[in-house]
Chains A and B, each alone.
Chain A
Amino acid sequence: MSTETLTAPAEKVKEPKEPLFSKKNKKLISNPLDIDNPVTVQVLGICSALAVTVQLKPSFAMALALTFVTAFSNLFISLLRNTIPSRIRIIVQLAIVSLWVTIVDQVLQAFAYDISKQLSVFVSLIITNCIVMGRLEAFALANKPWPSFLDGLGNGLGYGAVLMAVAFFRELLGSGSLWGFKIFEGMGLAYQGNGVMLIPAGACLVLGILIWAQRARNGYFETE
């Protein structure tokens, strides 16, 4: 998963007085949501996208956790970018990512105990999520803190959007509920949950269809 070629955005912010939400900066957030989505276009972070998307609630928590981690790891690495010795830069990135992930994990255990139990190992596995490391390597090491922060935010949200979309279909078709509410029972219909949607293979199907639909719409093709 780590061999993907990431096209580092070429824009290097040089003018000192750029507005906080300039066109370029807005793009840092909006691109990952659609045409440069980390999950559907770059196909990163699939592991957790398959694992935690059985229901909307844990997916939402996971999306928030990852957005937080990417944004702040990007910010930190960008702040340190001129001091990091290139020979140990990967391990420095890992240390910073682990730092934020552990903090998120601890905070969840203290304030959202039920969700932290549901997410169990997947929070700590954010450390190995390729999106986080990918953004650090491709963007934060070469850009200023504010754009890096936005880039992390954008990619986290892009990941989160896909997670929520997958979870929407899996929870609806798998358990007949949304956000824990029994939708079909509420409408007075009996619904026999679809077992495939509850296992990771169901996520594979939903995600595959999602990737296909999105790429078809945007006219994206893999180039050799």
Chain B
Amino acid sequence: MQRSNTYIILYTLALTVFCGVVLSLTAMGLRPLQDANKEQERKINIVSTVVKTEGMEKDNIVKAYDEMIEGFVVDFNGKVVEGMLPGAVNIPKEYKKPLQERVFPVYTSKSKENPDKVEFYIFPLYGFGLWNNISGYVSLKSDLNTINGINFGHVSETPGLGARITDDPAISERYKGKTLFNEKGELQSVVMQKGEGNNYDDAPHKVDGMSGATLTGKGVNNMLEDYFTAYQNYFKTVTNTQTTQK
């Protein structure tokens, strides 16, 4: 059917307004629920680097978070930024700033026997995989060198290949016990290798790769190095106070 140009323009206009209104209303209405999901996910990710959460009810994990985990924010120099909650730090937004200008959340989990001693330090990670952003949390033992647990999230890595960083528990298992610094105290980070099925038990800074997902692996490596570098100053302030206390 042939219609006049005016009709077509008005029709487009009406359709655009209609779609716009419907979508804004849906987005606004669902926002609180979506935010709650993300907050829950953040807590679960943090707790799961410290304790085994498999098979646990989500509510119980969140409860465990509230009991175990404390958090604060530091700047690039390792100084605590007062009056900032770690949950309020928008990590993707911070990621866009230069490393020196970012603020970084730090979470701690105190030991059960000695409530003054921090048993684990947990740090968020953020980077870029093959297609889009990847993220994660890593927990370090109190020496701030040995990886206790790690988990990854991703926006759109290839299912079955790069997406294994999230889906395949064996991947994060490979990082356990690896160390960040060599004997001289230089940062080596932990680097995922190319190829899969090799044994890196004796190499403290290497983990087995993911076959078919080398580029995602590279993204993970960059992310780890980036954030370990960023937290290095904070590590120093902690180890300094530890030695002076002794």
Contact = CB atoms under 8 A, between A and B. Distances in A.
Contacts of A121: 156
A99 B3 contact: no
A102 interface: yes
B161 A95 contact: no
Interface stretch (A8-16, A79-87, A154-162, A184-192): A79-87
Chain A interface mostly: helix
A106 B15 contact: no
A136 to B, nearest CB: 14
Contacts of A113: 34, 37-38, 41
A103 B33 contact: no
Given A103-B26, A109-B30, A88 B159 contact: no
B213 to A, nearest CB: 11
Chain B interface mostly: helix
Interface in B80-126: none
B125 to A, nearest CB: 17
Interface string A190-218: 00000000111000000000000000000
Contact of A106 (B11, B27, B41, B156): B27
Interface in B2-54: 2-3, 7-8, 11-12, 15-16, 19, 22-23, 26-27, 30, 33-34, 37-38, 41
A110 B33 contact: yes
B220 to A, nearest CB: 17
A106 B159 contact: no
Interface string A40-57: 000000000001101000
Interface string A119-151: 011000000000000000000000000000000
A109 B37 contact: yes
B212 interface: yes
A221 interface: no
B1 A86 contact: yes
B37 A85 contact: no
A88 B11 contact: yes
A92 B19 CA distance: 11
Contacts of B26: 102-103, 106-107
B238 interface: no
Interface residues of A, number: 29
A218 B92 CA distance: 53
Contacts of A117: 153
A121 B159 CA distance: 10
A113 B39 CA distance: 12
Given A85-B8, A95-B19, A111 B156 contact: no
A91 B1 CA distance: 16
A110 B41 contact: no
B30 A110 contact: yes
A198 B210 CA distance: 13
A109 B15 contact: no
A38 to B, nearest CB: 22
Contact of B8 (A87, A106, A111): A87
A88 B8 contact: yes
Nearest to A84: B11
Contacts of A86: 1-3
8 contacts: A54-B160, A85-B8, A95-B15, A99-B19, A106-B34, A107-B30, A117-B153, A120-B159
Interface of B: 1-3, 7-8, 11-12, 15-16, 19, 22-23, 26-27, 30, 33-34, 37-38, 41, 153, 155-156, 159-161, 212
10 smallest CB-CB distances across A and B, nearest first, come from: A110-B33, A113-B37, A110-B30, A85-B3, A198-B160, A121-B156, A85-B8, A99-B19, A120-B156, A109-B34
